[in-house]
């Protein structure tokens, strides 16, 4: 319309002109409104960018930031991390969150800055694999608490058993992004070591764990050092997907060297104990690789470089740039390698940038990445998730945009649910010993991986009432329950669940936007024996755990919830997933053929008796004798078919079939039943047991 | 085969139940081969090897057209039937059952129909819900398998096929000691027994000049009602579609022993052609019986493809050829025994060109007795037959 009818438009313009003119604002007036925005102000208005979009997520993000920081600190100091997570409801939708670690502690001067200033930290300026990246998280959590409850963030930190612990209550001045210390006239309190300090802690109601929880018969060991941060905030505590419980559980899977003590608002204690004392290898810090540096950054680096020549600048600021490489870059850019960096202007920087991209430079060293390792991946997954088949694969490190990264994948396949394997007698005993109030609760609590959906299905199948008490079931009802448990297909419609990790931190949100999920659903899983509709995740009782480790994990946003889809990363993901997929395919095919073999044998056995009787009638041969003879042949025949053959018909040794890093859990009826009974007896808090609901 | 066969036919030679059964030489021979079959299995199993049976193959690929004898003979090809093969385990078991059932019949001096055999052997396999035989159709081919693998005839195994087909005409014979006069059989005719071997049926007197074999009961009744056999002095038979062994054996014997020519009046469709082919050359399935059943001298009287024009039939009595008919017709045309016969190739081509088939009953549209008073007499007069 606009191009076709220019006439009327002009006419309206004339009309407007005829109106009395009013100046809306002058440049001067506008200037009075213009001022700088502090980071803290910006984020307090845009809290969703940091993961504080809603009360439930705010609670999780706070726990997550604190735990991630603690783990980073412990690992850097070489201490096997032990983390206490306490969530306490203070009033409706208000929680006090306390997180303590046994890390190295923080020196007094740094405490206010770390917790009370946004974008302050050690991790941003160096390229090193760590959980935190920007130094924004924990202070943002404090700021969120301050915004919603007005309560300051409280920090206790102790660097050595003999030195005093520092206690601070801090608020952030959001206008200028600086910490404001509230206690002891802005100086913080030093709590001396020893009894005097103990009394002070008691008198002032400061929360502080002094000892490790002791093993039975041992006196608890005192905590040498550590940091505790307490934040009170508005939030919602809810279990399930995207919860603190899930985060801690997933953290425990990917960090088998960590012990976590979790006290939830209902007073339940959950403990995840480390399965190894060995810390992951120390992540090395690397200099940036020239390919990963953008033009603006290059200009800044040039400006910051104190003196020296261009060649010196290139060789000292970047990794993988030798004098020869530096000369090649300079030649490409038609700049003198002996040019002073100060003299390099914008134009030259631009040519230099382009020259870098055009010069062939070796990939950065990749030993700066510390993967979890296939063995620990398998162990971790098995520890938490029951299954029949586990496989893991760690890819060799690779590089995207000059940043080294490494992909690790582990997969668990858990065929039938334990509920379908137990015998009627065991079910009866389980029912007797259970103190669950409803049948649904009984099913969910007793059987791993059943979930409320599965329990509902069983209850519907058996036509029980929703509030049926398990202890009041009559023998007939029990039989019906048993039948229902057998008949319901629990794995039906069950999709693949994906555990995503970036630098050992679980990613719980924005699954669809993540390169990991996209790669998973883009692959063809049908060839690995799983059903899958086009472009979505495959179906089946499968759990896949994917870990992206990098010195700089490319997230799609600051809230660190999804990994950006760089082609290099997607390729490595695909390769790793294909490795475990192939192994799963082999397992499923083999299981299928073993099942077929069993059917085969049973078919032969079914007819042998008839054949033996017929022969007896024909020539009077002894029926049992001929039956035995035929049976022997049948066994030999099917045993022959039992020997594993690969697709090309070669014989395979079962040990070498799958290659390395595969774990197959043989089903053992007896031990399974024993374990279930054991568990139902000790449902009440048991420190060695994971009692969280899934 | 017959679904409603008699359950048990009275054994040819009645004996008191407890009296020792007197075995004929034939029976002894058959028993020996059955036991031999069992012995081989026992021996193989004793050596811990997988037993199998070699069953002569009853398929087109294993039959040969013997040009000098002018009938189909079975070749030497066999199919292996293994006990330890998933798809064959059950039929192996069934074969052994049938063999044991036959042995039982012979030893007791009794015989039964194929349906009787099915009931004799049908039971639930111990420890399962599976039946040894689910249907008679599972059992029948196994009986044939046993026949060919023991090289024994069905009656030697004391098993009968169903009775089907009728006969009337100027013929007198003895059937198991009873004299049958086929000219005094009323409207229904005499049912041709399934076993027509010389020890059961002995021809006594024959005044007929030829045999007219028609396809089905309807047409046969027409001829019988019109007393065609009396006016033309012939023997009139039908086989209820594809003629069973008894009918074919009787035709064979009458043709050879009484030296009567055989004329066939069948539908003008691939099925009719095949019936003629079976009477003349023997069937593929029972190629091993051709020697006793094929009548190479039989002639095809009609209906012919040209009869639509010749008899001035209307389009309403034609039946369109189905795709399957066309396929079958081409298959028949390519059989070695039709391949070199130009008139037959022409006949089949004409039918395909017509695009329809004609049943003998179509002639009724002209007149109820057109077929007996006009069509057949004309053909006999013209001696217009296909060979």
pLDDT for A2 equals 42
Find, among A478, A495, A481, A293, the residue nearest to A403 by Cα: A293
CA–chain centroid gap for A661, Å, is: 21
Which helix (DSSP H) or strand (DSSP E) does residue A251 occupy?
Answer: helix A244-254
- Pick from A146-150, A414-418, A586-590, B109-113: least confident: A414-418
Provide the sign of the torsion angle of the four alpha carbons B17, B22, B24, B27, taken in this order. Answer: positive
Q: Best mutation site among A618, A624, A626, A632 for testing chain B: the one with the most B CBs within 10 Å?
A: A618
A602 contacts on B by Cβ (under 8 Å) = none
| Contact state of A626 with B45 under an 8 Å Cβ cutoff | yes
The CATH code of the domain that includes B210 is: 3.40.1360.10
The strand pair at B159-160 and B78-82 is best described as: unpaired
| pLDDT of B99 | 92
- B108 contact residues in A (CB cutoff 8 A): none
pLDDT in the model for residue A178: 85
In the structure, what pLDDT confidence band is assigned to residue A125 with cuts at 50, 70 and 90? low
d(CA A591, CA A529): 11
The b/e string for B81-100 (b: 16+ C-beta within 10 A; e otherwise) is bbbbbeebbbbbbbbbbbbb
Q: Which of A101-115, A163-177, A476-490, A522-536 bottoms out in mean pLDDT, i.e. has the lowest?
A: A476-490
Query: For position B346, what pLDDT does the model report?
Result: 92
pLDDT average, residue stretch A434-462? 75
Residue A389 per-residue DSSP state: E
Range of the domain at B155: 25-160
Mutation test of the interface with chain A: which of B38, B94, B125, choosing the one with the most A Cβ atoms within 10 A? B38
The mean pLDDT value for B334-340 works out to 88
The pLDDT score that the predictor gives to residue B13 is: 46
Instruction: Name chain A contacts of B97, Cβ cutoff 8 Å.
Output: 610, 614
Q: Is B8 among the domain residues? A: no
Nearest to A166 by CA among A115, A132, A122: A115
Q: When comparing pLDDT for A449 and A514, which is higher?
A: A514
Q: Say yes or no to pLDDT of A411 above 60.
A: yes
CA A638, A640, A646, A649 torsion-angle sign: negative
State the DSSP code for A290: G
**H-state helical runs in A496-566:** 515-522
Q: What is the mean pLDDT of residues B296-300?
A: 92
Position A47 confidence tier, pLDDT thresholds 50, 70, 90: confident
Number of domains, chain B:
2
Q: Is residue B48 part of a domain?
A: yes
CB atoms within 10 A of CB A8: 9
Residue A331 CA, chain-centre distance (Å), reads 46
DSSP letter for each residue of A95-107: EEEEEEE-S----
Instruction: Give the confidence band of A498 by pLDDT, cuts at 50, 70, 90.
Output: confident
Residues from chain B that touch A606, judged by Cβ atoms under 8 A, are: 125, 127-128, 130
- For residue A651, pLDDT beyond 70: no
Q: Which residues of B touch A600 (CB under 8 A)?
A: 86
Instruction: State whether B216 and B156 are in the same domain.
Output: no
State which CATH number among 1.10.8.50, 3.65.10.10, 3.40.720.10, 3.40.50.300 fits the domain covering A416-490+667-694: 1.10.8.50
Banded pLDDT at B172 (limits 50, 70, 90): very high
In a domain, B155, yes or no: yes
In which band, very low, low, confident or very high, does the pLDDT at A290 lie, cut at 50, 70 and 90? confident
Task: State whether residue A531 is helix, strand or coil.
Answer: strand
- Average pLDDT for B280-291: 86
> Across the interface, do B92 and A607 touch by the CB < 8 Å criterion?
yes
| Minimum mean pLDDT range among A669-678, B286-295, B335-344 | A669-678
Residues B240 and B143 occupy one common structural domain: no
Spatial contact of B167 and B236, defined as CB atoms under 8 Å apart: yes
Residue of A nearest to B31 (CA): A618
Residue B247 lies in a domain: yes
Find the residue in A nearest to B89 (Cα): A604
Taking CA atoms, A565 is separated from A228, A396, A506, in Å, by 36, 19, 18
pLDDT band at A551 (very low <50, low <70, confident <90, very high): confident
In sequence order, what DSSP letters do the residues of B209-245 get, joined into one string?
SEEEEESSHHHHHHHHHTTHHHHTTEEEEE-SSS--H
Q: With 60 as the cut, is the pLDDT of residue A687 above it?
A: no
Q: Are residues B145 and B245 in the same domain?
A: no
A5, with CB counted inside 10 A (0-12, 13-18, 19+), is exposed
Q: What are the residue numbers of the active site of B?
A: 119
Give the list of residues 6+ apart from residue A271 with CB closer than 8 angstroms, or none. Answer: A213, A259, A260, A261, A262, A687, A688
Using pLDDT thresholds of 50, 70 and 90, give the confidence band for residue A682.
very low
Question: With b meaning 16 or more CB within 10 Å and e meaning fewer, what string describes A243-258?
Answer: bbbbbbbbbbbbbbbb
Highest-confidence segment of A273-277, A598-602, A621-625: A621-625
User: Of residues A590 and A651, which shows the higher confidence score?
Assistant: A590
Q: Which residues of A touch B90 (CB under 8 A)?
A: 603, 607
| 3-state secondary structure at position B189 | coil
Q: Which of B35, B49, B130 sits opposite A633 (nearest CB)?
A: B49
Q: What pLDDT sits at residue A689?
A: 39
Residues from chain B that touch A626, judged by Cβ atoms under 8 A, are 41-42, 45
- Are the beta carbons of B221 and B211 closer than 8 angstroms? no
Task: Place B252 in a pLDDT band, splitting at 50, 70 and 90.
Answer: very high
- Which stretch of DSSP H or E encloses residue A399? strand A398-400
Check whether residue B170 and residue B68 sit in a common domain.
no
**Is residue B261 pLDDT above 90, yes or no?**
yes
Chosen from B46, B96, B97, B107 to mutate, greatest number of chain A CBs within 10 A: B96
Among A372, A332, A374, which residue's Cα sits nearest to residue A353? A332
Q: Are B191 and B238 in a shared domain?
A: yes
* Subunit contact B96:A610, Cβ cutoff 8 A: yes
What average pLDDT does the segment A485-514 reach?
80
Distance CA(A506)–CA(A496), nearest Å, equals 17
Q: Is B39 in Cβ contact with A606 (below 8 Å)?
A: no
Proportion of chain A above pLDDT 70, given as a percent: 83
User: Is residue B7 assigned to a domain?
Assistant: no
In chain A, the residue whose alpha carbon lies closest to the alpha carbon of B96 is A614
Would you call A542 exposed, middle or buried from its count of C-beta atoms within 10 A (0-12, 13-18, 19+)? buried
Q: What is the pLDDT of residues B74-127, one digit of tens each?
A: 888 888 888 888 788 888 999 999 999 999 999 888 888 888 999 999 988 877
Residue of B nearest to A613 (CA): B97
Question: Hey, are the CB atoms on B127 and A614 less than 8 Å from each other?
Answer: no
Query: What are the DSSP E strand ranges found in chain B?
Result: 52-56, 63-66, 71-74, 78-82, 112-113, 159-160, 166-169, 171-175, 178-181, 190-191, 201-206, 210-214, 234-238, 262-265, 299-302, 319-320, 356-357
Counting beta carbons within 10 angstroms of the beta carbon of residue A227, is it exposed (0 to 12), middle (13 to 18) or buried (19 or more)? buried
Q: What is the C-alpha to C-alpha distance for residues B150 and B99, in angstroms, rounded to an integer?
A: 9
Structure-token match 């009077």, residue found: A620
Residue B372 counted as domain residue:
yes
Please state, for a pLDDT cut of 90, what percent of chain A lies above it. Answer: 8
The interface pTM score, or ipTM, of the predicted complex is 0.76
Q: Are residues B197 and B337 in the same domain?
A: yes
Q: How far is CA B358 from the centre of its chain?
A: 23
Within a 10 A sphere around the Cβ of B189, how many other Cβ atoms? 21
Q: Which residues of A touch B92 (CB under 8 A)?
A: 607, 611
Name the residue facing B89 among A603, A626, A629 (closest C-beta).
A603
Q: Which residues neighbour A624 within 8 Å (Cβ) at sequence distance 6 or greater? A: A612
Q: Helix A439-446 vs helix A669-681: angle between axes, to the nearest 10 degrees?
A: 120
Considering CB atoms only, which of B37, B45, B100 is closest to A630?
Answer: B45
**What average pLDDT is seen over chain A?**
79
Q: Residues near A161 by Cβ (< 8 Å), separated by ≥ 6?
A: A193, A222, A224, A225
User: Under an 8 A CB cutoff, do A630 and B48 touch?
Assistant: no
Question: CA B273 to CA B262: how far, in whole Å?
Answer: 15
pLDDT for the residue A449: 58
Residues B205 and B234 in one domain: yes
Q: Is the pLDDT of residue A3 over 60?
A: no
CB-CB under 8 Å, B92 with A629: no
B106 shares its domain with B137: yes
Among B125, B160, B195, which residue terminates a domain? B160
**Where does the pLDDT of residue A658 fall: very low under 50, low under 70, confident under 90, or very high at 90 and above?**
low
- 3-class DSSP state for residue A436? coil
Is 80 exceeded by the pLDDT of residue A315? yes
Candidates B325, B339, B340, B212; CA nearest to B268 is B325
Residue B29 covered by a domain: yes
Query: Beta B299-302 vs B78-82: how paired, if at all?
Result: unpaired
Instruction: Inform me whether the pLDDT recorded for A693 exceeds 80.
Output: no
Closest chain B residue to A617, measured at CA: B100
CB atoms within 10 A of CB B328: 17
Residue of chain B minimizing CA distance to A633: B48
Query: How close A637 comes to chain B (CA, Å)?
Result: 7
If you write DSSP's letter for every residue of B31-64 in order, what string do you get? Answer: HHHHHHHHHHHHHHHHTT---EEEEE--SGGGEE
Is residue B155 domain-shared with residue B220, that is, in the same domain? no
Q: Distance between CA A99 and CA A247 in Å, rounded?
A: 14
Closest approach of B336 to chain A, Cα-based (Å): 41
Tell me what pLDDT residue A686 has. 39
CB contact under 8 A, A621 and B132: no
With a cut of 90, say whether residue B251 has pLDDT above it. Answer: yes
Distance of alpha carbon A362 from alpha carbon A71, whole angstroms: 32
Q: Do A290-358 and A416-490+667-694 fold alike per CATH?
A: yes
DSSP letter at A577 equals H
C-beta of residue A565 within 8 angstroms of C-beta of residue A515: yes
pLDDT at A650: 43
Residue B93 has its nearest CB partner, among A611, A632, A637, at A611
A399 vs A405: CA distance, rounded Å: 6
Q: Report the alpha-carbon distance of residue B279 to residue B257 in Å, rounded.
A: 16
Residue A284 contacts by C-beta under 8 Å, 6 or more apart in sequence? Answer: A128, A367, A368
Per the DSSP assignment, residues forming a β-bridge with B113 are B160
Q: Measured in Å, how far apart are chain B's first and last C-alpha atoms?
A: 28
pLDDT computed for residue B199 by the predictor: 83
Over residues B183-208, the pLDDT tens digits come to 999 888 999 988 888 888 999 999 89
CB contact under 8 Å between B125 and A606, yes or no, is yes
Regarding whether B192 and B110 lie in a shared domain, the answer is no
Burial B291-325 (b: 16+ CB within 10 A, else e): ebbbbbebbbbbbbbebbeebebeeebbeebeeeb
* A611, A616, A627, A640: best to mutate for the B interface, most B CBs within 10 A: A611
Which sequence spans correspond to the domains of chain A? 43-272, 290-358, 376-413+495-660, 416-490+667-694
Paired residues of A179 in beta bridges: A172
CB contact under 8 A, B83 and A621: no
Q: Max alpha carbon distance in chain B (Å)?
A: 72
What Å distances lie between residue A89 and A67, A119, A261, B154, B224, CA to CA? 19, 29, 17, 92, 106
| Chain B interface, Cβ < 8 Å to A | 34-35, 37-39, 41-42, 45-46, 48-51, 83-84, 86, 89-90, 92-93, 96-97, 99-100, 103-104, 125-128, 130, 132
Q: What is the pLDDT of residue B279?
A: 92
Contact B300, B266 (CB under 8 A): yes
| CATH numeric code, A376-413+495-660 | 3.30.230.10
Is B69 contained in some domain? yes
What architecture (CATH level 2) is domain A290-358? Answer: Orthogonal Bundle (1.10)
For residue B344, what pLDDT is reported?
92
How many whole angstroms separate alpha carbon B12 and alpha carbon B296? 31
Architecture of domain A43-272: 2-Layer Sandwich (3.30)
| Same domain flag for B326 and B207 | yes
Supply the mean pLDDT for chain B.
87
Instruction: Pick A621's closest partner by Cβ from B42, B89, B125.
Output: B42
| Residues sharing a CB contact under 8 Å with residue A685, sequence separation 6 or more, in sequence order | A268, A269, A691
- Residue B100, domain CATH: 1.10.10.10
Give the pLDDT mean for A426-438: 77
Inter-chain residue contact B84 with A603, CB threshold 8 Å? no
Contacts of A617 in chain B (CB under 8 A): 100, 103-104
- Across the interface, do B83 and A636 touch by the CB < 8 Å criterion? no
**Per-residue pLDDT, A134:** 63
Name every chain A residue with its beta carbon within 8 A of the beta carbon of B38. 614-615, 618-619, 621
Q: Which helix (H) or strand (E) holds A625?
A: helix A623-642
| Number of C-beta neighbours around residue A523 at 10 A | 18
Average pLDDT of the residues in A669-690 = 49
Domain boundary among B160, B181, B212: B160
Same domain, residue pair B75 and B187: no
DSSP letter at B374?
I
List Cβ neighbours of B163 (8 Å cut-off, separation of 6 or more). Answer: B2, B5, B6, B191, B192, B193, B194, B244, B246
In this prediction, residues A32-51 reach a mean pLDDT of: 78
- The C-alpha atoms of residue B225 and residue A34 are separated, in whole angstroms, by 121
Number of helices (H), then strands (E), belonging to chain B: the values are 15, 17
Question: Cβ separation of B103 and A617 shorter than 8 Å?
Answer: yes
Check residues A177 and B304 and name the one with the higher pLDDT: B304
Domain end position, chosen among B115, B140, B160: B160
Helix (H) or strand (E) holding A630: helix A623-642
């Amino acid at each position: 319309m606009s191009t076709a009818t220019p006439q009327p438009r002009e006419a309206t313009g004339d009309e407007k002109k005829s109106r009395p003119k009013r100046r809306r604002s002058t440049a001067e007036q506008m200037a009075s409104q213009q001022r700088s925005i502090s980071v803290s102000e910006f984020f307090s208005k845009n809290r969703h960018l940091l993961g504080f979009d809603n009360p439930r997520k705010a609670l999780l993000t706070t726990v997550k930031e604190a735990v991630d920081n603690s783990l980073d600190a412990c690992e850097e100091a070489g201490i096997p991390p032990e983390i206490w997570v306490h969530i306490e409801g203070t009033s409706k939708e208000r929680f006090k969150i306390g997180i303590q670690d046994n890390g190295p502690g923080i020196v007094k001067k740094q405490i206010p800055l770390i917790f009370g200033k946004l974008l302050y930290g050690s991790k941003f300026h160096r390229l090193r694999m760590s959980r935190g990246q920007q130094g924004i998280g924990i202070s943002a959590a404090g700021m969120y608490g301050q915004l919603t409850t007005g309560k300051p963030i409280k920090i206790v930190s102790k660097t050595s058993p003999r030195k005093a612990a520092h206690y601070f209550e801090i608020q952030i001045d959001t206008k200028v992004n600086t910490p404001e210390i509230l206690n002891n006239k802005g100086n913080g309190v030093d709590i001396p070591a020893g009894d005097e300090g103990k009394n002070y802690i008691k008198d002032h109601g400061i929360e502080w764990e002094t000892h490790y929880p002791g093993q039975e018969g041992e006196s608890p060991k005192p905590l040498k050092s550590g940091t505790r941060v307490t934040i009170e905030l508005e939030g919602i505590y809810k279990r399930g997907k995207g919860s603190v419980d899930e985060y801690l559980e997933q953290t425990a899977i990917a960090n088998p060297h960590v012990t976590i003590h979790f006290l939830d608002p209902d007073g339940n204690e959950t403990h995840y104990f480390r399965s190894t004392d060995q810390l992951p290898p120390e992540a090395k810090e690397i200099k940036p690789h020239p390919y990963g540096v953008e033009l603006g950054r290059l200009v800044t680096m040039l400006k910051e470089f104190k003196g020296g020549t261009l060649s010196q600048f290139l060789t000292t600021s970047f990794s993988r740039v030798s004098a020869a490489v530096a000369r090649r870059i300079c030649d490409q850019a038609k700049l003198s390698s002996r040019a002073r960096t100060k003299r390099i202007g914008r134009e030259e920087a631009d040519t230099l940038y382009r020259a870098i991209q055009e010069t062939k430079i070796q990939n950065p060293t990749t030993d700066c990445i510390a993967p979890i390792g296939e063995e620990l991946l398998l162990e971790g997954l098995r520890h938490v998730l029951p299954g029949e088949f586990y496989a893991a694969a760690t890819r060799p490190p690779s590089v995207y945009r000059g940043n080294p990264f490494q992909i690790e994948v582990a997969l668990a396949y858990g065929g039938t649910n334990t509920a379908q394997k137990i015998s009627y007698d065991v079910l009866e005993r389980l029912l007797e010993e259970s103190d669950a109030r409803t049948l649904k609760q009984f099913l969910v609590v007793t059987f791993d991986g059943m979930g409320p959906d599965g329990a509902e299905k069983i209850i519907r199948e058996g036509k029980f009432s929703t509030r049926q008490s398990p202890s009041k079931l009559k023998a007939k009802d029990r039989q019906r329950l048993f039948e229902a448990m057998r008949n319901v297909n629990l794995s039906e419609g069950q999709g693949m669940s994906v555990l995503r990790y970036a630098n050992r931190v679980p990613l719980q949100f924005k699954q669809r936007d993540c390169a990991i999920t996209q790669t998973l659903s883009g692959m063809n899983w049908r060839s690995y024996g799983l059903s899958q509709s086009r472009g979505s995740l495959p179906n089946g009782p499968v759990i896949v755990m994917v870990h992206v480790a990098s010195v700089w994990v490319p997230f799609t946003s600051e809230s660190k919830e999804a990994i950006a889809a760089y082609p290099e990363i997607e390729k490595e993901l695909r390769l790793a997933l294909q490795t475990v997929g192939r192994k799963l395919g082999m397992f499923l095919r083999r299981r299928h053929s073993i099942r077929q073999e069993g059917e085969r044998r049973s078919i032969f056995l079914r007819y042998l008796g008839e054949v033996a009787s017929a022969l007896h009638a024909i020539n009077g041969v002894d029926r049992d004798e001929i039956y035995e003879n035929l049976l022997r042949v049948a066994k030999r025949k099917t045993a022959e078919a039992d020997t594993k053959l690969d697709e090309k018909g070669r014989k395979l040794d079962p040990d070498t079939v799958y290659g390395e890093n595969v774990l197959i859990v043989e089903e053992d009826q007896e031990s399974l039943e024993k374990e279930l009974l054991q568990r139902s007896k000790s449902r009440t808090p048991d420190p060695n047991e994971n009692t969280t609901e899934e | 085969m017959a679904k409603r066969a008699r359950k048990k036919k009275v054994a040819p030679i009645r004996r008191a139940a407890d009296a020792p059964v007197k075995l004929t030489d034939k029976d002894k021979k058959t028993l020996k081969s059955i036991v031999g079959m069992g012995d081989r299995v026992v021996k193989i199993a004793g050596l811990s090897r997988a037993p199998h049976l070699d069953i002569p193959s009853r398929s087109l690929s294993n039959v040969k057209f013997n040009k000098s004898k002018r009938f189909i003979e079975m070749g030497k090809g066999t199919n292996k039937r293994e006990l330890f093969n998933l798809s064959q385990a059950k039929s192996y078991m069934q074969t052994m059952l049938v063999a044991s059932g036959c042995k039982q019949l012979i030893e007791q001096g009794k015989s039964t129909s194929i349906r009787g055999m099915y009931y004799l052997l049908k039971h639930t396999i111990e420890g399962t819900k599976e039946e040894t035989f689910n249907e008679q159709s599972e059992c029948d081919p196994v009986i044939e398998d046993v026949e060919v693998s023991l090289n024994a005839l069905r009656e030697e195994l004391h098993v009968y096929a169903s009775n089907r087909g009728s006969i009337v005409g100027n013929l007198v014979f003895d059937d198991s000691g009873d004299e049958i006069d086929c000219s005094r059989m009323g409207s229904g005719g005499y049912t041709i027994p399934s076993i027509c071997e010389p020890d059961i049926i002995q021809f006594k007197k024959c005044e007929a000049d030829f045999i007219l074999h028609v396809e089905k009961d309807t047409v046969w009744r027409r001829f019988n009602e019109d007393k065609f056999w009396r006016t033309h002095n012939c023997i009139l038979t039908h086989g209820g579609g594809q003629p069973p062994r008894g009918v074919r054996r009787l035709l064979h014997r009458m043709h050879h022993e009484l030296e009567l020519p055989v004329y066939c009046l069948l539908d003008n469709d691939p099925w009719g052609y095949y019936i003629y082919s079976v009477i003349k050359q023997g069937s593929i399935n029972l190629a091993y019986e051709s020697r006793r059943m094929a009548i190479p001298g039989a002639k095809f009287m009609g209906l012919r493809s040209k009869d639509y024009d010749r008899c001035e039939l209307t389009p309403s009595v034609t039946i369109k050829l189905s795709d399957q008919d066309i396929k079958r017709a081409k298959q028949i045309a390519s059989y070695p025994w039709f391949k070199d016969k130009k008139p037959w190739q022409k006949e089949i081509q004409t039918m395909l060109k017509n695009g329809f088939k004609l049943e003998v009953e179509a002639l009724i549209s002209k007149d109820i007795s057109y077929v007996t008073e006009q069509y057949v007499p004309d053909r006999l007069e013209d001696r217009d037959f296909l060979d």
